[in-house]
Amino acid sequence: MEERDILIIGAGPAGLAAAQYGARAARRTTMIEELAPGGQALTIDSIENYPGVNKTISGYELGMQFQDQAERFGAELVYATVQSVDKDEDNFVVKTTEGEYVAPTVILCTGAKHRPLGVPGEEEYKGKGVSYCATCDGPFFRNKKILVIGGGDSACTEALYLAKLTDKVTLIHRRDRFRAQQEIADRVMRDPKITVKLQHTVESIEGDGDKVDRVVLRNLGTDEVYTEEFDAVFVFVGMIPQTSLVPEAKKDDAGYIVTTCRMETSIPGLYAAGDVRDTPFRQIVTAAADGAVAAHCASEYIDELAGRAYR
């Protein structure tokens, strides 16, 4: 069993920032990631709001910079799937596909995954025109007719990205205004390649069995149900936090892990940072800040356990 001071599960912006701060505090710090470092940011084509990076940068590039910086200070990145997290007195035992780790602190940075819309045809046409990632699948639908669903930052930013690939993007949202940040929503409204249909929902996604070719829509204002042709449907209707590794940790009504401002969860020694925790604003910068706070407070907790707290 490998011993560490701070184990970080997930290497998105929260995990990568936590790793840097853990390593800078001279703690043996390991991130465990099953895919690639960068998290959801990996799927973002252009990031323009990360403070201090005053140029447009891809999520991949920014993630690489986070990773290089964390590793430069001595943090370790292990590629493995975490299978369980169990508390054993003052330590956590973390079982992974690449072996077991023990550490007094764990920082959960597992983020959130896309929520499905839950309409007929969505599951059947997943990968055949239904997608949850514009940068991954958008290029397959260059100059095609694309429907985007959702009213938050994701739907609006991804609609703007897709409008670079085709001039036939339709964005529908169930309410009469967007949830997205005003600046992003304004840009959508100004984009001549995006047709916005508010107060609309999807009834079903249909096709020929191999690919999407039409969507049945409902106008909530008039209750009219009608069919429109689309080649692709991009769904951005919110996120589901990834908390299954810590079923005992306290969650809010939406399933996000409840933390203090020190990123402490209801389980001593377990911290949560980034999109997995209850926070009013989910951005790369807020995830990174969460990660820094979590690592700092985890390091203080280790001192407390050792009776060396600096007061």
Instruction: Show which residues are catalytic.
Output: 133, 136-137
x/- binding map, residues 19-58, to ligand NAP, per CB under 6 A? ----------------------------------------
Q: Among 7-15, 55-63, 130-138, 235-243, which window interacts with ligand NAP (CB under 6 A)?
A: 235-243
Q: How far is the CB of 202 from ligand NAP (least distance, A)?
A: 7
The residue from 46, 65, 201, 204 that contacts ligand NAP (CB under 6 A) is 201
Which lies closer to ligand NAP via its Cβ, residue 196 or residue 239?
239
Tokens 């992974």 sit on residue: 96
Query: In this complex, which beta carbon is closest to ligand NAP, that of residue 100 or of residue 228?
Result: 228
Per-residue binding letters, 58-97, with ligand NAP (x by CB under 6 A): ----------------------------------------
Taking residues 143 to 162 in sequence order and writing x for each that binds ligand NAP by CB under 6 A, - otherwise, the string is -------xxxxxx-x-----
- CB nearer ligand NAP, residue 28 or residue 179: 179
Q: Site size for ligand NAP, by CB under 6 A? A: 19
Q: Does 218 bind ligand NAP (CB under 6 A)?
A: no
| 117 near ligand NAP, judged by CB under 6 A | yes
Q: Which residue type does 252 have?
A: D
The residues of the shown chain that bind ligand NAP, judged by CB under 6 A, are 117, 150-155, 157, 173-175, 179, 201, 236-239, 282-283
